[in-house]
Each structure stands twice: as structure tokens, then as C-alpha cells.
Structure 1
Amino acid sequence: MCMQLVNNMEMDEINRLLDEINEDRTVPRNIRNLVQEAKNNLNGKQELPVRINSAISILDEVSNDSNIPIYSRTQIWNIVSMLEVMNERAKV
């Protein structure tokens, strides 16, 4: 129960950070669309590890885009790190 609460709190924070990037008009539209897709996958119905891996894959692609602002790239790396920690805990 406690682990579920921690995961929910982390997921809320990740969703908030993804929303921040999505609402930033300095971020190109194609990147915002991919960020929204990653968020939709995270909040989907599949098992947690599947959702996390799908989002990480999309966000890795986004972070390699040359058009992404540096600040947003740093945010994406932070989100990916948070997701990787959650994924490791989900495997245990």
C-alpha cells in the first residue's frame, strides 16, 4: 500500500512536469505532441512496467531532437531518470 502511494505521488509529479513541457510554447509542436503521447501512455491501462518503458522510449527520442530547448531537454532527462527508478522498483 505504501509503495502504491509513493508511485502515485511520483506519477503525479511526472505528469505535472510533462504538462509543463507541453504548455511551453518555446517547445516545437512535434515535440509537444510526443510529450503528450508519452503522458497518454503513462496513464494508460497496461501494466506499469509496459507504460513506463513506452514513455521512456518516446522521451529518449524527444531528448535527441536537435530542436528541443536546452531547459526542456534537461527536464526530459529528469523525467526519464524518475521513470527508470520507478521501473526498477516495479521489477522487485
Structure 2
Amino acid sequence: MSVKTKKKAELNEEKVIKAIEILKLIQTDVATPKSVRKLIKEAQDYLLKKDLSPGVRAASAIQLLEEANQDPNLPMLSRTRIWNALSMLETVKD
């Protein structure tokens, strides 16, 4: 593995870790609906799977987060945090 590839992989992992931290904030917020918390938990589980490539993990999590973002009962702060996590995950490439 070249130095450039290693650096790219490290950057991707950092982005995934930051996204997981944001998702934990949303999940622990009592104002977040239970259905959204369930989707957030599933997204976290995908992001933590080490047997998949970072791009696949991010794409799976993005799909779940976009679904969670459609919930009409979602508080604005949680919605903004989801957007933040989405923008971070969208930059993760294989």
C-alpha cells in the first residue's frame, strides 16, 4: 500500500469516526423520536463494520440518515446534526 493510499484511508477513517460521534449526540438526545434513533443506530452499526470498505459503509449509512432526515417529528437541531454527518460521510470515497 502506497503512502498516498494509507493517508487517504486514514482520512476516511477520521471522517467516519467524527460522523459516529455526531450520530451518538443525536441518539442520546431525548427530543429525538424513537424511530429516528433506531435508524441512527443502524447507521452507526454500518459505519463500525470493518469488513466493508469505507465507501460502502458510508453509502449505507447515508441511505439510512437520509431516511431519518425525512421524519416530520425530527427536531431542527437533530436535523442539522444529521446534515453535518451526511456532508462528512459524502466525502468518504474508496
The question of a shared fold, defined as TM-score above 0.5 by the shorter chain, is answered with yes
Segments of structure 1 that go 5 or more residues without pairing to the other structure are: none
Moved more, 67-76 or 4-13: 4-13
Give the fraction of aligned pairs with identical amino acids, expressed as a percent: 34
In structure 2, which of residues 11, 17, 35 is the aligned counterpart of residue 30 of structure 1?
35
With CA pairs under 8 Å and 6+ residues apart, which has the higher RCO, 1 or 2?
Answer: 2
Return the structure number with greater helix share: 1
Letter in 2 for 1:4: A
Q: TM-score, normalised by structure 2?
A: 0.86
> Counterparts in 2 of 1:61-80, with a 5 A limit?
61-80=67-86
Cα RMSD, aligned residues only:
1.1
Number of aligned pairs? Answer: 88
Aligned residue for 1:22, secondary structure, equals: helix
Structure 2 gap ranges (5+): 1-5
* Structure 1 position 54 matched with structure 2 position 60: yes
Larger radius of gyration between Structure 1 and Structure 2: 2
